[in-house]
Structure 1
Amino acid sequence: MRWDTVLMVDWSGGADRGPRPKKDAIWGCVVSRAGAEPPVYLRSRPVAEAWLTTRIAAERAAGWRVLAGFDFPFGYPAGFAAALTGRADALAVWDWLEARIEEGPRTSNRFDVAAGINARFPGVGPFWGNGLRRDIAHLPRKGRARAGHGMEEWRAAERRARGAFSCWQLSGAGSVGSQALTGLPVLARLRRRFGAAAWPFEPVADADVALVEIWPSLLREAIAARRGADEILDAAQVRLMAAALARLKGERLAAMLGVSAPEEGWILGLGFEQELAAAVRAC
């Protein structure tokens, strides 16, 4: 399994971060047959989506296959997709969110969309973490306020990945819920535009563009050891993840992509941590 270009993205659910590179923002990095490029700071989600679209189009115009990784959950705990869309299909959730998530000049309507989803479920939840000053009906600020919504807290991947956060948490340090709500609509558009295959929901062996879920904290120790002294962590993560995946031989990457998780999704490299960490340390 040969990938000519590896493109890694550290996403953010937050507001436009301004022109100066910052931590906790969106960063991208590309390693291709032409060589490794420095990380790119992307100040907002619209800027990031435009960069992704332009970059993937250029790689495809060159006849190169692209493996693109994003650091947010591609799916939700089992049962959520069917409850929301009537289909036990994570990609149906992508399309559902794309039709409803809107990006304003500085932020999105993700909290209101999450509240609307909660209102469709019994009890209170599953989403929580209203990060706005105004109260939002059906969206509690604290996770302990939830009850009776019927969803599991974790996917199988999070139960295995030590330290991973629940996809239901929308705000607070380490949370990934807002990244997923704002990132999945972008992936839905990339999938449609480029005919991309979304792993592990679709086969990627013959895909020209494959979208995969990553979690750089899976390799936190190896990344810490190779991070530059003054390097922003997000930049280091995408730089080293891209370089490590580009170093792997085709059959080893194929083994990592051989996981079956048809509804919830999976983190690329989970179960192969030692091998992937060794590739990071070799960068």
Structure 2
Amino acid sequence: MSGFTAYVGVDYSGAATVHDRLPGLAAYRAAPGEEPRRVRPAKGGNWSRAELHRWLAEQLAAEPTIAGLDFAFAFPEGYFRRYHLPDWDAFLVDFRHHWPTDAPGVTVEACRPGNPRTGSPDELRLCERWTPAAKSVFRFDVQGAVAKSAHAGLPWLARLRRKQSGTVHFWPFDGFRPTPGKSLAVEVYPALFKRRFHPDGRNDHQQDAYAVARWLAETDTHGFLPRYLQPPLTSEETDTALREGWILGVS
């Protein structure tokens, strides 16, 4: 095993504002050898994005945790070239400036008209081209679209990066090999795992988060996690992934 003592799965939502409680937000946490349990806000009910990210930051700081988050951590390489962004950290700063969706009262929809930072719905990252069903981060307004989640989640990821770069390894941007002793934040695509586990009354959002937490825990327990953290990429593909990011489990 890798030394993680907690495994977190998060199903994400880019709806409404940061303080709205959303049924599309769900989190599950597992400890080694235990069934994942649903994590709820202190006041009960559904999470808001602001509450969820506060809890996640505390969890990552409290113990060695691997957290799988269901939104894109970066955009296709063409986006980096268009806007002259040298690396992921520059991307995060620039993105939050143009899409301040972590600010009170701001929605993804309100930021869309005329926004100078965007892309074409047919643009895909390398990891998305390696999957049969992943959609572009620029494809809004279609069934199964992930664009809103990405555009709502990235500013929070930037906050986490600023505050906890010393305690959290952001995979793969800090390297494909995790830093010993640090928590690990990874991008996931729950569709890769969710059918392996019976839903047992969980709704779709809860099942996605549950499946991620359980897959992370079981994969680590069986000693297979290092295999997924080192996908079979060429040197050129690795350089691309260090900017675009990668989906854990895609190989």
Per the normalisation by structure 1, the TM-score is: 0.71
1:256 equivalent in alignment to 2:249: no
Structure 1 Cα separation of the partners of residues 66 and 163 of structure 2: 15
Contact 1:76–1:264 (Cα < 8 Å) also in 2: yes
Superimposed CA distance per residue, residues 200-229 of structure 1 (whole angstroms, 9 cap, x where no aligned partner): 111223251211000011234324xx111x
Question: How big is the alpha-carbon RMSD for the aligned residues of Structure 1 and Structure 2?
Answer: 2.6
How many angstroms does 1:104 deviate by? 5.6
Q: Secondary structure at the match of 2:216?
A: helix
How many angstroms does 1:167 deviate by? 0.6
1:87 is matched with: 85
Contact 1:79–1:88 (Cα < 8 Å) also in 2: no
The structure-2 alpha-carbon separation of the partners of 1:77 and 1:207, relative to structure 1 and needing over 3 Å to count, comes to farther
Contact 1:66–1:209 (Cα < 8 Å) also in 2: yes
Which amino acid in structure 1 is aligned with residue 73 of structure 2? F
For structure 2, the residue ranges without an aligned partner over 5 or more in a row are 41-45, 232-237
Percent same amino acid among aligned pairs? 26
The structure-2 alpha-carbon separation of the partners of 1:187 and 1:227, relative to structure 1 and needing over 3 Å to count, comes to same
Q: Secondary structure at the match of 2:37?
A: coil
Contact 2:193–2:215 (Cα < 8 Å) also in 1: no
1:183 is matched with: 153
1:241 equivalent in alignment to 2:212: yes
Of structures 1 and 2, the larger Rg is shown by 1
Q: Secondary structure at the match of 1:175?
A: coil
For structure 1, the residue ranges without an aligned partner over 5 or more in a row are 128-142, 144-151, 272-283
- How is 1:90-129 mapped onto 2 (pairs within 5 angstroms)? 90-100=88-98, 101-103=100-102, 108-117=106-115, 119=116, 126=119
Contact 2:79–2:119 (Cα < 8 Å) also in 1: no
The structure-2 alpha-carbon separation of the partners of 1:236 and 1:154, relative to structure 1 and needing over 3 Å to count, comes to same
1:269 is matched with: 249
- How is 1:1-283 mapped onto 2 (pairs within 5 angstroms)? 1-15=2-16, 22=23, 25-33=24-32, 35-41=34-40, 42-57=46-61, 59=62, 64-84=63-83, 86-100=84-98, 101-103=100-102, 108-117=106-115, 119=116, 126=119, 153-195=123-165, 196-203=168-175, 204-206=178-180, 208-223=182-197, 226-228=198-200, 230-249=201-220, 251-259=223-231, 260=238, 261-271=241-251
2:234 is matched with: none
Superimposed CA distance per residue, residues 28-87 of structure 1 (whole angstroms, 9 cap, x where no aligned partner): 111124844522354321121122123333x2xxxx311111111112111212322x23
Superimposed CA distance per residue, residues 88-128 of structure 1 (whole angstroms, 9 cap, x where no aligned partner): 323322222234414465x53434544454x36xxxx625x
Instruction: Give the length in aligned residue pairs.
Output: 230
How many angstroms does 1:256 deviate by? 0.8
Structure 1 Cα separation of the partners of residues 110 and 16 of structure 2: 15
Range moving further from structure 2, 186-195 or 68-77: 186-195
Superimposed CA distance per residue, residues 167-188 of structure 1 (whole angstroms, 9 cap, x where no aligned partner): 1023332111111111111112
Structure 2 Cα separation of the partners of residues 249 and 169 of structure 1: 33
Which amino acid in structure 2 is aligned with residue 68 of structure 1? A
Which amino acid in structure 2 is aligned with residue 198 of structure 1? F
Range moving further from structure 2, 162-171 or 246-255: 246-255
The structure-2 alpha-carbon separation of the partners of 1:178 and 1:70, relative to structure 1 and needing over 3 Å to count, comes to same
Which amino acid in structure 1 is aligned with residue 196 of structure 2? A
Contact 2:127–2:247 (Cα < 8 Å) also in 1: yes
